[in-house]
Structures are given as structure tokens and as C-alpha cells.
Homo-oligomer: A and B are copies of this chain.
Amino acid sequence: MITREHCAALDAADPLAHCRARFDLPPDTIYLDGNSLGAMPANVPARIRRALEQEWAHGLIRSWNDADWYPAPQRTGNRIATLIGAGRDEVIVADSTSVNLFKVLVAATRMRPGRPVILAERTNFPTDVYVADSVAEMTGRELRCVDPADVLGAIDETVAIVSLTHVNYKSGWCYDMAQVTRRAREAGALIVWDLCHSAGAMPVRLNDCGVDFAVGCGYKYLNGGPGAPAFVFVASRHLAQVRQPLTGWHGHARPFAFTHDYEPHPGIDRMLTGTAPQLGVIALESALEAFDGVDLDVLRAKSVALGNLFIDLADQQLAGLGCRLASPRDPRERGSQVSLAHEEGYAIMQALIARNVIGDFRAPDILRFGFAPLYVRYVDIWDTIAALEDIVRTGAWNTEAFKTRKSVT
């Protein structure tokens, strides 16, 4: 029998417990939705205030040089590189994940002209499939979507690109990146990994695995703020030949020469398009300081422990209440979230949120709980399961207020 005291003891022994103070969290709230919008690192407002009141208002245009705005996407990319197993100058911050995925997929098709197939999977985050579909249409390829279990078998010499998300947004199911990447390389295909649900939550080893391209999000486990700019990784061995289609001036070798002809920057800057969303880049750059000194293996160990605790407590407290585990039980197959399925999932999640326990809902029936190891405590897991048990057992979810859908779920 797991008790709250046991959870409190785990917190007392947690080597990452001190990191929670790096965030400005509401004291009365349990936040298990950092996989949707990461919590705010406490240092961000002062940095943004300086960017506004000194750099923008008083430095004005000079701040692109004098406040080092111009190299911020590169600098921030290099910080992210250390979290995802990439080298220096292989990662840059730009645009949104969807836009970066478009760039990378088109660039990859151009590197595999003779191969007709873009391979994706059915349960991927929809935007990845929509973008791959658009790229397939524009480049005359076929988008082939298969079940996750069939991906390895579907990689053959017809495949130009394998486009997958490392950790599934709904189930938290995690691919074996090394295995799938190896299979893609053996078949001569290029691989693109979407790291939205893994970057900042677990070690990612892009170069160890030989990955070609990756994209990911700045506003989930990287805590960059709402709609934070995304990032894009290109393995250095590909940089010289990558031709991406969104050829804005910031990807040019000499943007301020204003030449009529596009000449891509020799390095990772060629993945840029327009002017960087500077306030967002600055927020993300300062937010990443929350990872200072954090060992990613320790981070992962805590993430696994939080997930295991959640599942054990769900087994203990929720048996017979209509909740089904919708994530892998084996932590080696799981990212940093656990999902439960319940046919009244939407209303149950609204009832939980009304008690200041915040997870989120994903259609049709998924209650999703994300564990950001920098600020989630073991007692948070205990309190969440206790609230969930009470809500489901008493039927507290069963009111119009909780059943009415909001625009953003």
C-alpha cells in the first residue's frame, strides 16, 4: 500500500527537488500539463522586461547588434543541442514545429529524388501527418501511413523519408530511436524525428543514433512560453546539401547584402526563413537556464519514477472505476507522461481542473498527465490520483458545467 508519506519521502530524497524553485508555480495547483505548456521559469519576466524596456524601447534597432539579438536563434539552438544529443551548430531556433517539419521534409525529398514514399504513421500528432501529406502532394510522392507496430517492416528501398514522433502525444509510447534510425539508414532512407514530447523530458541521442533531421517544440518540456519558437536539427554531414523551400532572407549566406539571388548560408542558419520572433526566442533562451547543471539521466530516472508511481497508484486506487491505462507499463517504452482512458474523460478532466489539478484531455477519451521532472513532485502524483478517485467514485464530473466543451481542450 503506497501512502502519501511514502511519496513525501521520495520528494525529500529527490536530487532534482531544488529545481522546482526555478519556476513560478501557483501554490495551490498541481500541474501535470507541462507536456502541453511548460510552467514559467521564474527568471523569464525580468529578462523579458529588460528586452522590452531597455533593448527594444531604448536600444531600438541597435539592439540587433548591441544586445546580441541577431545570434539568439543560434545561441538558443546550441543550448537545446545539449539536451538532444546534437553537436554545436546543428540546431537552430525558428518558426513553429509544423513550419520546420515542412522545411525538413521537402529538403529530405530533394536528397532522395528516386524514391516515391514518405513513410509516416497513423497515430502521429495530426499536424505531422497533415504537413507530410502536403509535402507529398507538392513533391509528387506518396504518403504512406502505417500502424506503429508496422513501421520497421515498412521501411524498404522505396522509402525516401521516415517521419515519426519520438514519443506519442496521446499514449506516451516511445519509439526505440536507435533501432528505427538504424533500419532507415540500412534501407537508404532519411529519418526525421519530431521531438516535441521528448526534448527536455528525457535524454535524446540524435548523433549517437545517426539521425538525419529532427524538429521540436519550445513550449512543452523546454518551458519557453505559449507558442515559443520551435527548433530544427540537421546532422552536420547533410548541412552543405540541404535545400529547404522557405527561402527567406535570414537563411541567406549574407542577408544584409540584399542580393537578388538566394545563396543559402553554409551552416544551420540556412534553416531560417524570416526575422526571428525575438521576444519568444529571448523567453526560450532564458527559460532553458532551468536545465543548468541538470544531469539528463537523473532527469530521466525521476521521470520514470513519477510515471511508475502514477501507474502503481492508479492500480491501487482506481481499480473497477472505468479507467484503463492507455500508456505502456514498461518505462522503456514510455516518455514522460501517463494516459488513462475513460469514456467520460472530458468531463472528468474538467472536474479535476476545477480542483486545480491540471492535466489535459485528448479526443476521444484520453486523460493525459505529463511529468516535467524539474517541477513535478511525488506528492503531486498522490494528490492527483486521490482527486481522480474521488471525482470518479462520487460522479462529481457529471454536471453540465464539466461536460460543456471549450474551444481549447
Contacts and interface: CB of A to CB of B under 8 A. Distances in A.
Interface of A: 24-26, 29, 31, 33, 36-37, 39-40, 44-45, 48-49, 51-53, 56-58, 60-65, 69-71, 95-99, 102, 106, 122, 125-127, 129-131, 133-134, 137-139, 145, 170, 219, 225-230, 245-249, 252, 256-260, 262, 273-281, 283, 353, 358, 360, 362-363, 406-409
Contacts of A362: 258
B98 A130 contact: no
Nearest to A366: B258
Contact of A363 (B62, B98, B247, B256): B256
A249 B126 contact: yes
Contact of A40 (B52, B170, B275, B277): B52
B225 A278 contact: yes
Contacts of A52: 40, 44-45, 48, 225
A98 B45 contact: no
A131 B248 CA distance: 6
A358 B126 CA distance: 47
A58 B26 contact: yes
A252 B252 CA distance: 31
Contact of A127 (B127, B229, B274, B353): B274
Contacts of A260: 122, 126, 129, 145
A369 B60 CA distance: 14
A224 to B, nearest CB: 9
B408 A246 contact: no
13 contacts: A33-B61, A44-B52, A60-B358, A64-B408, A70-B408, A98-B274, A99-B248, A125-B258, A130-B249, A134-B262, A138-B138, A279-B279, A280-B280
A284 B12 CA distance: 44
A407 B65 contact: yes
A250 to B, nearest CB: 8
Given A40-B56, A60-B26, A247 B97 contact: no
Contacts of A408: 64-65, 70, 256
Nearest to A36: B61
Which 10 residue pairs spanning A and B have beta carbons closest together? Answer: A96-B274, A98-B248, A226-B278, A227-B278, A98-B274, A127-B249, A64-B408, A40-B57, A130-B262, A130-B247
A170 B406 CA distance: 47
A63 B252 contact: no
Given A126-B249, A260-B126, A219 B275 contact: yes
B279 A247 contact: no
A70 B258 contact: no
Contacts of A248: 96, 98-99, 127, 130-131
Contact of A25 (B48, B57, B138): B57
Contact of A95 (B53, B63, B95, B256): B95
Given A62-B353, A126-B258, A129-B260, 14 more contacts: A31-B60, A33-B60, A61-B358, A65-B406, A71-B407, A96-B277, A99-B273, A126-B252, A133-B262, A134-B245, A137-B245, A138-B138, A227-B276, A228-B277
From A69, A170, A230, A245, name the one whose CB has the most chain B CB atoms within 10 angstroms.
A245
Contacts of A281: 227
Nearest to A131: B247
A239 B61 CA distance: 36
Nearest to A135: B245
